């Protein structure tokens, strides 16, 4: 049983964003202290100092106004990918805990522009128009 009081409440996925790809879950998005530590440790050389120093606000910004949205093919319907170009394209992976019914940050890392273009071409990502 996860104690969500220990997690950071980051924000909510806008309904218009999730509807684009048929993502049916809604509610608050949480980030565990462990995932924030993981992102800082594992991706510190790939992410800018600006992003690393403002990690929670960067995640919140990606959730509120992503440039692209997609559903992870390997776990269709329960994993959402949001991409926003900040310094470079950043992918934010959000997963669902079905047992406890909450959305959480699984990871965040840079993704190359060519991978973004390939995913758009293959229909795995959709551009968001606000």
Helical axes 55-64 vs 33-42, angle rounded to 10°: 100
Which tokens sit at 40?
């800082």
pLDDT the model gives residue 20: 82
pLDDT the model gives residue 47: 93
pLDDT the model gives residue 90: 97
pLDDT the model gives residue 130: 65
Per-residue pLDDT of the chain (130 residues; tens, 9 = 90+): 788 889 999 999 888 888 887 777 778 999 999 999 999 999 989 999 999 999 999 999 999 999 999 988 665 556 899 999 998 999 999 998 888 888 999 999 999 999 999 999 999 899 998 6
Q: Global pTM?
A: 0.90
pLDDT the model gives residue 74: 66
CA distance 85 to 68: 9
pLDDT the model gives residue 70: 92
**Helix (H/G/I), strand (E/B), else coil: 8:** strand
pLDDT the model gives residue 113: 96
pLDDT the model gives residue 75: 54
- Residue 101, judged by CB atoms within 10 A of its CB (0-12, 13-18, 19+), counts as exposed
pLDDT the model gives residue 27: 81
pLDDT the model gives residue 62: 97
């Amino acid at each position: 049983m996860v104690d969500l009081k220990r997690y950071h409440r980051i924000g909510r996925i806008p309904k218009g964003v999730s509807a684009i790809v048929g993502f049916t879950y809604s509610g608050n998005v949480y980030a565990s202290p462990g995932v924030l530590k993981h992102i800082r440790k594992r991706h510190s050389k790939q992410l800018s100092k600006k992003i690393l120093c403002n990690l929670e606000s960067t995640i919140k910004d990606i959730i509120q106004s992503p440039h692209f949205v997609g559903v992870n093919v390997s776990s269709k319907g329960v994993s959402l990918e949001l991409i926003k170009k900040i310094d470079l394209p950043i992918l934010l992976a959000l997963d669902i805990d079905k047992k406890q019914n909450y959305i959480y940050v699984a990871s965040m890392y840079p993704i190359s522009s060519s991978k973004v273009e390939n995913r758009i071409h293959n229909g795995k990502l959709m551009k968001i128009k606000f």
